[in-house]
Amino acid sequence: MGNMWKHNTLPREINPLMLSWMAGLFDGEGCCSIYKQKDKDHSRKFHYVIMAQVSNTNIGLLEPFLSNFGGKINVEKQPSSKIWTRKTCYQWRSHYQFASNFLKKIFPFIHDETKKQKAKIVIEFVDSNISGRWNHDWNKQDAFYEQIKKLGGRKGIEVLQCQKY
C-alpha cells in the first residue's frame, strides 16, 4: 500500500465524542511540533515546519483523521531483527494550517499537559501568520521553536500511583 493523501480545505462539524476519541489517541500515540527543515532558498538555510502526527499499527484508527482533517498517511516499514519482527506502522501527518485546525478542534479534550502546551504553541505560531512564504519574522519563529524545544518529550505526564482500598 502506498501513501494516502487528502487535502481538506473546508472546516467540518465533527461530533464532540469523535473529537474526544481523537484527542485520546493523540494523547497516547501522537505529537505536534515545530521543527527545522533544510532549505537552500532562504538566507538562513532552513525554514520551520509545523506538524501534527498520530501513529498506529492499525491504519483503520487513522482514517478518521485523514477524512476529517486532511493530511497524509505514511507507511513506515519497521526493520526486522533475529529477535522479533515489528508490525508495519502507519503515521497520519498534517502540516501548517491543517495541523493547527486539527489541534484547535481537539484542544479541549487533550489531557497530557506537555502535549497541550505544545499544541497551544503550534496554534499560536500558525495564527501569528509569521510562517508565510513571504513573511519571515525570524525572531518570532525562533522564539516559538525554542518554546517547543524547552518542553522536550513526555516530561509533562504525571505518574499516578494506584492506592489499595
All structural domains of the chain: 4-151 (3.10.28.10)
At a CB cut-off of 8 Å and minimum separation 6, what does 153 contact? 114
Q: What is the pLDDT of residue 156?
A: 34
Residues in the chain: 165
What does the pLDDT profile of the chain (165 residues) look like in tens digits? 555 555 554 557 899 999 999 999 999 999 999 988 887 766 667 778 899 999 999 999 999 999 999 999 999 876 666 666 678 899 999 999 999 999 999 999 999 999 999 999 999 999 887 655 555 677 888 899 899 999 985 433 333 333 332
DSSP assignment letter at 160: P
**What per-residue confidence (pLDDT) applies to 121?**
95
Beta bridge partners of 52: 32, 94
Q: Taking a C-beta distance cutoff of 8 angstroms, is the pair 27, 52 a contact?
A: no
Q: What is the pLDDT of residue 101?
A: 94
Please report how the helices 59-69 and 16-29 are oriented relative to each other, as an axis angle in degrees rounded to 10: 120
Whole-angstrom Cα distance, residue 61 to residue 76?
15
Instruction: Compute the chain's Rg from CA coordinates.
Output: 17
The predicted pLDDT at position 128 comes to: 86
Residue 5: the pLDDT is 53
pLDDT value for 83: 65
pLDDT of residue 141: 86
Residue 6 is predicted with a pLDDT of 58
Query: Residue with C-alpha cell 495564527?
Result: 127
What's residue 28's pLDDT? 95
pLDDT of residue 47: 79
d(CA 160, CA 124): 30
